Amino acid sequence: MVSIKKELEVYGLVPRKRWGQHFLIDRNILSKVVRTAEIEETDVVLEVGPGLGVLTLALAKEAKRVIAVEIDQKLVEILKEKVADCPNVEIIRKDIMEVDFNDLIERGGQPLKVVANLPYQISTPLLFRFIESRSVFASLTLMLQKEVAERMTATPGGKDYGPLSIFTQIVSDFSIRFLIKPSAFFPPPKVDSAVIHMVWKKRPMAEVEDIEWFKRVVRGSFGYRRKTLMNALRHSGLSLPEEGTERMKRIGIDPQRRPETLTIEEYVRLADVLKE
């Protein structure tokens, strides 16, 4: 089996920093990722950033169908050659941040299992997109920065706790399955990576009356996390009631607390009480 480094040399390719290309070269890790994703023969899989198709081909052996989205045109051409004998694989040349997820579920005919080695620079915004469109996805098995995984699992009071922690935990059950050293990739990234597995809760941790307002309150609070909660909200540009401080006190939230100290349930109550 030709190594990833040798393949890149043969094709005259150089990993591109602008797209965060770090190719997984450890085949043992690849096998662990496929096992973690729990792919069955009836599943439709979405792969993000398939690169040279090593994971794509492994997924194609297990799943009913694989839809692979790749932004690099050169890699798309190589991928199409490699999967020519795999009728259950579709290669789409597009930026995943611009993909209409509803179109994907129409293509697949059912909720998709996502398996991906996420480019580092888009991992957080793409996670938010996955969460917002969660009805499209059955599960997520993702390789991403260890620090992002730690933010997802963070609890109130720590520096890692923030909007990603809240929006992830309120709707999903997830775990960090294992860590990956930089040497497992080429070129090696500067940080450790983690593989996470996510599925959606049958019911959210807390019922949110107005989800868009809730998101704005959470993001507004953490936009100025060094300030007190009330000052952070005042600087956020949100339209707040004049008696906001009194409303917060009525539900047992001290306006002088720091944003990172509130629990998810407290943020839900806060958003509800501050809505005009």
CATH of the domain at 251: 1.10.8.100
- Model pLDDT, residue 11: 79
pLDDT over 50 (residue 136): yes
Could you tell me if 35 and 87 lie in one domain?
A: yes
- The token pair at 264 is 């998810």
pTM flag (> 0.85): yes
Q: Which of 147, 173, 200 is at the close of a domain?
A: 200
Range of the domain at 259: 211-274
Could you tell me if 69 and 172 lie in one domain?
A: yes
Q: Which of 173, 200, 227 is at the close of a domain?
A: 200
Could you tell me if 234 and 181 lie in one domain?
A: no
Could you tell me if 181 and 240 lie in one domain?
A: no
- Model pLDDT, residue 107: 85
Give me the DSSP letters along the chain: ---HHHHHHHHT----GGGT--EE--HHHHHHHHHHHT--TT-EEEEE--TTSHHHHHHHHHSSEEEEEE--HHHHHHHHHHTTT-TTEEEEES-GGG--HHHHHHHHSSPEEEEEE--GGGHHHHHHHHHHTGGGEEEEEEEEEHHHHHHHH--TTSTT-SHHHHHHHTTEEEEEEEEE-GGGEESPPSS-EEEEEEEE-SS-SS--S-HHHHHHHHHHHHTTTTS-HHHHHHHTT----TTHHHHHHHTT--TTS-GGG--HHHHHHHHHHH--
Say if 21 falls within a structural domain. Answer: yes
Could you tell me if 93 and 178 lie in one domain?
A: yes
The pLDDT tens digits of the residues spanning 189-244 come to 999 999 999 999 999 988 898 999 999 999 999 999 889 999 999 999 898 898 98
pLDDT over 90 (residue 12): no
Q: Which residue has the higher pLDDT, 221 or 6?
A: 221
pLDDT over 90 (residue 16): no
Q: Which of 200, 234, 266 is at the close of a domain?
A: 200
Could you tell me if 154 and 215 lie in one domain?
A: no
User: Do 222 and 260 form a contact (C-beta atoms < 8 A)?
Assistant: yes
pLDDT over 70 (residue 24): yes
Could you tell me if 260 and 127 lie in one domain?
A: no
Could you tell me if 221 and 269 lie in one domain?
A: yes
Could you tell me if 269 and 223 lie in one domain?
A: yes
CATH of the domain at 59: 3.40.50.150
Could you tell me if 96 and 225 lie in one domain?
A: no
Among candidate residues 270, 227, 228, the one with its CA nearest the CA of residue 250: 270
Return mean pLDDT, the chain: 93
Say if 79 falls within a structural domain. Answer: yes
Say if 256 falls within a structural domain. Answer: yes
Q: How many domains does the chain have?
A: 2
pLDDT over 50 (residue 162): yes
- Model pLDDT, residue 201: 96
- What integer is the mean pLDDT of 148-160? 95
For a pLDDT cut of 90, what percent of the chain falls above it?
Answer: 79
- What integer is the mean pLDDT of 256-271? 96
Could you tell me if 162 and 266 lie in one domain?
A: no
- Model pLDDT, residue 211: 92
The pLDDT tens digits of the residues spanning 73-127 come to 999 999 999 999 999 999 999 999 999 999 998 988 999 999 999 988 899 999 9
Of 6-20, 114-128, 168-182, 237-251, give the lowest mean pLDDT range: 6-20
pLDDT over 70 (residue 64): yes
Could you tell me if 59 and 180 lie in one domain?
A: yes
- Model pLDDT, residue 1: 43
Say if 205 falls within a structural domain. Answer: no
